[in-house]
Amino acid sequence: MAQSPYTVRWGILATGGIAQSFVKDLLCNPAVRGVSDVAHKVVAVASSRSRDSAAAFLDKVGLSPGGVALYGSYHELVADPNVDCVYVATPHSHHFQNTMLALEAGKNVLCEKAFTVTAAQTRKLVETARAKGLFLMEAVWTRYFPLSIKIRELVASGAIGTVYRVVADNSLGTSKPDGNLTFSDESRMVNRDLAGGALLDLGIYSLTWVFQILYHLQPRAEEDKEAPTTVAAIEKYDRTGADESTTVLVRFPQHKSMGVAMTSLRLATNTDGKNSGGPAIKIQGTLGEIQVTGPAYRPTQYKVVRKDGDGKVEVVDCPIPFDSERNHGHGMFWEADEVARCLRDGKKESATLPLSESIVIMEVMDEALKQGGVEYPELITTDVFDPQSPLNTGSR
């Protein structure tokens, strides 16, 4: 008799676009992606402002209201005894307070990237989760793509020799003829009150590729891995003071390796929409290189160029499974599957993105923003938990 899959009961904290994409993926048939050991069920949804917003969310994602608790506050959601894990889908300005709210209520948490606004906040979340024996993970979905796993395995096997350099770009071309960006000043992309800017929203993916190769694959125990030095160049958006273009150079001197992580709201990585400009990521080793076709956050193809390959290029396509019955398949289900397996196996963090690595990445972004003179308000940078913070209550 086949064993029933381990099912995670999810509570969804926030009802915006990213939450909709995530839940639509949760509702996809796991068999479509070849998964039979874990499954997912949404049991609660919360908006910070009204229960009606939570109800409208169900319509948007095509979820029947039966068996789903609807809340008009985050406090009610984290108190729901039927929730196994809370998915925090608010802007990253809110992540620290929202995740602390869930952890303090005894809930496991999957928190969207960027984990927090500051490294100090990330360290506080990790300390709290560990002290309470709870699972915590940053939702960097790209790490869990089969494509990413294959590339890490290739690099670890020595297929392209010793890797000394990774160059990655994740940028959007939103510049208008008048010099402004297409985003309104209130948009989370450029509003410093919401921790707006290219680095925390887009650059995290460039750094993901640098780190999952040059840091994650270091053959050392987690506590002994070499953290990089950081040099950054930042151009600030005149209208809001957020970073509009950022380049981060990280160097691992013990390994003689370096990474270049680029991001911009001015220029697109994919200039013509057809990737004619080449790969978004280049992983360069002594025996060859791996070129990853963009976008950096949702890649579906990579190429292997070998030094002795006589000009032949190996092209590997990794399409994202699509559930035709639900007319969806975005790629966020793989990170959800990872959460399910960790919870099933009693793990408190993911080996694919350890909490210590999330901290180091946040430290790099901290330093980059500091060098660029980008500052955010105290409300969203404090590492003091306040259950009644407006970030938790939705009050203006």
Per residue in 178-198, pLDDT tens?
A: 999 999 999 999 999 999 999
Scan for tokens 């939450």, then name that residue.
19
Number of DSSP helices (H) and strands (E) in the chain, helices first:
12, 14
pLDDT tens digits, one per residue of 123-140: 999 999 999 999 999 999
Q: Measured between alpha carbons, how far is 299 from 320 in angstroms, rounded to an integer?
A: 9
* Residue 387, number of CB atoms within 10 A of its CB: 14
Q: Is the pTM of this model over 0.95?
A: yes
Query: What DSSP element (H or E) covers 209?
Result: helix 204-214
Angle subtended at Cα 334 by Cα 187 and Cα 23, rounded to the nearest 5 degrees: 50
- Render pLDDT for 331-358 as a digit per residue (tens, 0 to 9): 999 999 999 999 999 999 999 999 999 9
pLDDT over 90 percentage in the chain: 96
Q: Per-residue pLDDT for 1 more than 70?
A: no
Q: Residue 77 is encoded by which pair of tokens?
A: 């959601």
pLDDT over threshold 60, residue 235: yes
Q: Output the average pLDDT for the chain.
A: 97
What CA–CA distance (Å, rounded) separates 203 from 263?
5
**pLDDT band, residue 395 (cuts 50/70/90):** confident
Q: For residue 298, is pLDDT > 80?
A: yes
Strands in the chain per DSSP E:
6-13, 38-46, 69-71, 85-88, 108-112, 136-139, 163-169, 229-236, 243-252, 257-264, 281-285, 288-292, 301-306, 313-317
- Residue 314 C-alpha from the chain's centroid: 28
Share of the chain above pLDDT 70, in %: 99
